[in-house]
Amino acid sequence: MGERPTYNRLQQGVVLGYENHATVGCDTCLPRQFQKSFEKKSAAMVREQLQVLSVLDSAKTQLYHFTAIVLAGMGFLTDGYDLFAISLVTKLLGRIYYHVDGSPKPGTLPPGVNSSVTGVALVGALCGQLFFGWLGDKMGRKRVYGMTLALMVVCSLASGFSFGNKAKGVMATLCFFRFWLGFGIGGDYPISATIMSEYANKKTRGACIAVVFAMQGFGILASGIVALIVSASFDYAFKEPSYTMNAVLSTAPQSDYIWRIILMFGAIPAAFTYYWRMKMPETARYTALIAKNAKQVAQDMARVLQVEIKVEEKKVEKLVADKNNSFGLFSKEFARRHGLHLLGTTSTWFLLDIAFYSQNLFQKDIFTAIGWIPAAAKMSAAGEVYKVAKAQTLIALCSTVPGYWFTVAFIDIIGRIKIQLMGFFFMTVFMFGLAIPYHHWTLHDNRLGFVIMYSLTFFFANFGPNATTFVVPAEIFPARLRSTCHGISAAAGKAGAIVGAYGFLYASQSTDPHKTDKGYPTGIGTRYSLIVLGIINFLGMAFTFLLPEPNGRSLEELSGE
């Protein structure tokens, strides 16, 4: 006797347009009363589904998919570059603008300035995600796409042109432009995810969205490589001595160009793709379900898919007029249908980013322990940028980038929710594995094990919730609220990033006032910070159970449209 088909198999067969029950199972496989009721509903679904959306869902992966991936992906490469490049040059900024004559150590950014320079882009991103997410559902994905990219190009260049040669003037203008850079980067999150989800087919949608997000890893890698090339070139040209040998000459006046060039380079990939982004047609789901233009969607998708698409004006009008497709974000109907889903996407992204961004807190301990970064006084300004960039590039190459691409490879096989649960689980395990025997890892002979454990937390963050929290919100909400809800979810993530990067920057300080970083009060120490982060990852795993599995289901099936 053959396998008995489940409700999902029967539903899948009907949604795909199979009318012959032999395709999905015999009449006796389901109770007759339920089967008849379901057949009527399913037949209605088939009739009401727009042809263009059915064609998109079942289309083979082809050139237009790859074009959309490249165009959206280059935006995310820029995002990764701009957000992480600043960490490569903060030490250099301290040497240039906060040097103290006669000090045994190079100058460093004061805690408040350091927090502002590195964190203002995160604040901007949070605001941009909320604003452009909302705007993407009001004005259309394509128009907002151009705005965010133009803002990123202009502000990347402006960051490098930060005015003046005094600390206050340079830091103030740098923070101003990096806020607006973050604002543009934030807008790229919901728009890129929504466009990719609405262009992709059901079979490979998860991989397509994950590839876009994975380009962030290449952006991190690119920032390290550019910093390596620029710092090595300046070091070769000016041959700066170490700070110990000559404190003044260790930071040549030309070193001021290093950080400016590194930050400005982020404008190149974004500018390169601007023209092609503007040539992309609006997504079919926005044009049909929100703009209500049946003729335009048929023309756009016929050109993209190279097939004949019927103009279905009456069907579009009927779908749009349906009350089930018109409830708002703050309605009871949204709360009933998607309230728990939005709680799931916001909470998991918030918790993930606390852990993900706070991992940078103990990078300095690792890099110093394994000899990648000597004491600051033993290096020149350009030499220190080179060493920091080398360390970040190696971490990105060995753990960050592979993690992203494992998600791409398996997301449509394993499913989003299983990958997210697995990632949170192993992050919890490795955080506790670092925290409980923390003294063991601080011993010189055990430094290699510490690096491996640390790298695995990054790997399972990216082969796990760092990718899936980006993918799922782009799939499970209605088209007219999809960009808004993704923006809200992403903004919750950036709120977590701010908590992780700055709350734990203070919390992880030593309990001994003589061992804290300059300018910081005492905290709970690295060990207890790691324990708290382990608990946060466990909570992320628990909140994941609020989310449905989108794998293999159409966007309309998931959202109930």
**How far is 155 from 518, CA to CA, in rounded Å?**
31
* pTM exceeding 0.95: no
How confident is residue 360, by pLDDT bands cut at 50, 70 and 90?
low
pLDDT at 158 over 90: yes
Please write the tens of the pLDDT for every residue from 78-123: 988 998 899 889 989 999 999 888 888 898 888 888 888 888 999 9
Highest-scoring range by mean pLDDT, 21-30, 316-325, 422-431 = 422-431
The mean predicted confidence, pLDDT, of the chain is 83
Please write the tens of the pLDDT for every residue from 546-560: 999 999 888 888 887
For residue 315, what are the CA distances in angstroms to 47, 311, 318?
9, 9, 5
**How far is 212 from 145, CA to CA, in rounded Å?**
14
412 and 206 in contact (C-beta within 8 Å)? yes
pLDDT at 44 over 60: no
How confident is residue 365, by pLDDT bands cut at 50, 70 and 90?
low
341 and 481 in contact (C-beta within 8 Å)? no
Give me the sign of the Cα torsion angle 134, 206, 427, 401. Answer: negative
Domain spans, the chain: 60-559
| 443 vs 213, more confident | 213
94 and 106 in contact (C-beta within 8 Å)? yes
- Map tokens 């955080």 to a residue: 431
85 and 223 in contact (C-beta within 8 Å)? yes
| 529 vs 210, more confident | 210
Alpha-helical (H) ranges within 463-524 are 465-471, 479-498, 504-507
- 289-294 — which CB contacts under 8 Å span 24+ positions? 289/316, 289/319, 289/320, 289/325, 289/479, 289/480, 289/561, 290/137, 290/140, 290/479, 290/480, 291/140, 292/316, 292/317, 292/320
Structure tokens at 227: 């910093």
**How far is 145 from 124, CA to CA, in rounded Å?**
17
| The pLDDT of residue 491 | 97
| 143 vs 12, more confident | 143
CATH class of 60-559: mainly alpha
pLDDT at 517 over 90: no
**How far is 402 from 386, CA to CA, in rounded Å?**
23
How confident is residue 223, by pLDDT bands cut at 50, 70 and 90?
very high
